[in-house]
Amino acid sequence: MAITRWRPRYEWSPFRALRELEDEMNRTFGLSRWPDRETGLMEAAWTPSIDVYHDAGKLVVKADLPGLSKEDIDVSVVDNRLTIKGERKKETEAKEENYHRVERLYGTFERTFQLPATVDAGKIEATYKDGVLEVALPEKPEAKPKQIAVKVK
């Protein structure tokens, strides 16, 4: 009979903590380390990059949505919440077995932002040009700062 050295079930590894951290980050952002069983490609959800800033009496939200058409994007405001939804569809013209690396992410996304009470929901405008969605949220006139003159007696 051969003698085999006993090892604990989970032997210490310097890279184990890094793998666990990677798995936790992937779960947080909705990514997967494992390839899709049908295609063999990595599947993951994507979230577009968004900038929010204030400019000349309006709040502006810009979202990078490359490769989407106007029909793929839905912008709505409900209960002072701006929601931007959409879907980037996977291109099917190339055969997946020819791919060596896939980094572009596909799928649906949804981003919601709480709006301040100063936004006039009736005058919101959205434009889409060159893969960038811009939503202009004008402020109500009474929300703009008013200068009050001080009188001296």
Indicate if the pLDDT at residue 64 is higher than 90. yes
Question: 97 with 138, same domain?
Answer: yes
Among the ranges given (2-11, 21-30, 83-92), the one the predictor scored with the smallest mean pLDDT? 2-11
- Do the bridges between strand 107-114 and strand 81-88 make them parallel or antiparallel, or are there none, so unpaired? antiparallel
pLDDT at 125: 94
Inside any domain, residue 117: yes
Q: Which residues contact 19 (CB under 8 A, 6 or more apart)?
A: none
Question: 39 with 81, same domain?
Answer: no
Question: 39 with 93, same domain?
Answer: no
Confidence band, pLDDT 50/70/90 cuts, at residue 32 = low
Question: 54 with 36, same domain?
Answer: no
Inside any domain, residue 95: yes
Q: Which of 37, 46, 39, 11 is nearest to 96 (CA)?
A: 39
Inside any domain, residue 110: yes
User: Residue 92 sits in which domain range?
Assistant: 46-143
pTM here is: 0.61
Inside any domain, residue 51: yes
Residue type present at position 45? A
Question: 84 with 125, same domain?
Answer: yes
pLDDT at 133: 95
Inside any domain, residue 50: yes
Burial label, 125 (beta-carbon count in 10 A; 0-12, 13-18, 19+): exposed
Question: 62 with 104, same domain?
Answer: yes
Q: Average model confidence (pLDDT) for the chain?
A: 79
For 26: left if phi > 0, alpha if psi spans -120 to 50, otherwise beta; the answer is alpha
pLDDT at 85: 92
Question: Rounded to an integer, what distance in angstroms lies between the CA atom of residue 122 and that of residue 16?
Answer: 54
Inside any domain, residue 9: no
Q: How many domains does the chain have?
A: 2
Confidence band, pLDDT 50/70/90 cuts, at residue 128 = very high
